[in-house]
Amino acid sequence: MKNLKSIAMATVLGLSIAGAPAFADDVPVSIGSNPVGNTAYQWAAGISDLVNRKVDGVQMTAEGTKGYVANVRLMLNKDIESGFSNSKLAYEAYKAEGDYADIEPGQILSWMSIAPIVQQVVVLAGSDIQSLDDLKGKRVGMGQPGGTSMLDAEILLDAIGLVPGEDFKDFRVKLPAMVDMLGDGQIDAFMWNGSIPLPPIIKLKAKKDIRFLPIPTAVSDAIRTKFAAYSEGDLPANTYANQPEAIPSYRLGNVLLIRADVPEEIVYQATKTVMENLDHMATVHPAWKRVSADSILGGFNAPLHPGALRYFREAGIPGIEEFAARTATN
């Protein structure tokens, strides 16, 4: 992979007189997502296709990965230029805190905030599991290692006092595998914190009657008190077919990050292209219907990449100056 720092000057010099991007080479920009077929992969593929068609000289690609946790490390290792993650991991990586205390701070910056992810706990309609407490003694899918959903599941289970391997049998596999296992009776429930609606759950619901377990307010309040990155928010009514009522839950910021060393002009042009084609992105995945100028900064606590900041200022994104001032002191 080419060293992006070495092409920064070529990027600027390569702009055409008319102002359209004309980079000297096909600049590689890969977007880490999650396993192929899951939501973030669809997003990354949609962004890549759009930018490649609209911005000459940039070769953007969607990379299937183990998930949001893995994406941060892949960026830090310079295996990818950008990646989807959540607001908690994004801030820790920027500050070099928590699991990232071994790195230099400031390597990972904010780019765009997508629709928040919602914690979902799924059982078959005929299950005797009526509440989170009933998961004790059951077989529970928690998501795959390297994915943020597995970590979110651990946080939720800790909040209700259940220990994996002791209080229940845990299965740490990908969402499509958990969906198949629940449908086949190999597990009793699964948890996934993801962007709604989730295609594998849509497919499961077309074949099986399922229910979503409510997450009591006391539980979500305890989680939000301990981890400020989480926020209030139900699973909205009619997210899935035959789901007429909202399900009590909570949310986490779902964000696209980018390395600080990606040239400003590339990020500016890519940001402009996505923001000016949100209607197209909504055809890629329904979550993009909820992305707007009012939501694009949501959930971020780390500064924006200069290229994104430049475009958002030009576009007059609401609250951009307040955001820039706040994150500059974080």
CATH topology of domain 4-115+255-328: D-Maltodextrin-Binding Protein; domain 2 (3.40.190)
Query: How much of the chain, in percent, has pLDDT values that exceed 70?
Result: 93
Three-class SS of residue 266? Answer: helix
Average pLDDT over residues 144-172: 93
Residue 1 clears pLDDT 80, i.e. is over it: no
* Confidence bin at 145 (pLDDT 50/70/90): confident
pLDDT tens track for 250-295:
988 889 999 999 999 999 999 999 999 999 999 999 889 989 999 8
Whether residue 161 contacts residue 154, with contact meaning beta carbons closer than 8 Å, is answered with: no
Residue 9 clears pLDDT 60, i.e. is over it: no
Average pLDDT over residues 117-121: 93
**CA-to-CA separations, 320 to 91, 190, 222, in angstroms, rounded:** 18, 38, 31
pLDDT for 6 equals: 36
Q: Of 119, 218, 117, give the one whose Cα is nearest residue 159.
A: 218
Three-class SS of residue 84? Answer: strand
Comparing 4-115+255-328 with 117-252, is the CATH topology the same?
A: yes
pLDDT tens track for 30-39:
999 988 888 8
Q: What whole-number distance in Å separates Cα of residue 208 and Cα of residue 265?
A: 48
Residue 120 clears pLDDT 90, i.e. is over it: yes
Looking at residue 106, what DSSP letter applies?
T
Tell me the average pLDDT of the chain: 90
| CB contact burial 154-189 (16+ within 10 A = b; e otherwise) | bbbbebbebebeebbebbbbbbbbbbbbbeeeebbb
Residue 8 clears pLDDT 90, i.e. is over it: no
Segment holding 326, helix H or strand E = helix 320-328
Average pLDDT over residues 224-242: 89
Q: Which residue has the higher pLDDT, 166 or 39?
A: 166
- Residue 240 neighbours by CB distance under 10 Å: 21
pLDDT for 251 equals: 87
Residue 141 clears pLDDT 50, i.e. is over it: yes
Q: Which residue has the higher pLDDT, 141 or 35?
A: 141
pLDDT for 14 equals: 37
Domain ranges of the chain: 4-115+255-328, 117-252
pLDDT for 11 equals: 37
Backbone dihedral region of 19: left (phi > 0), alpha (psi from -120 to 50 degrees) or beta? left
Residue 113 clears pLDDT 50, i.e. is over it: yes
Average pLDDT over residues 237-243: 94
Three-class SS of residue 258? Answer: strand
Q: CATH number of 117-252: 3.30.360.10, 3.20.20.100, 3.20.20.150, 3.40.190.10?
A: 3.40.190.10
Residue 213 clears pLDDT 70, i.e. is over it: yes
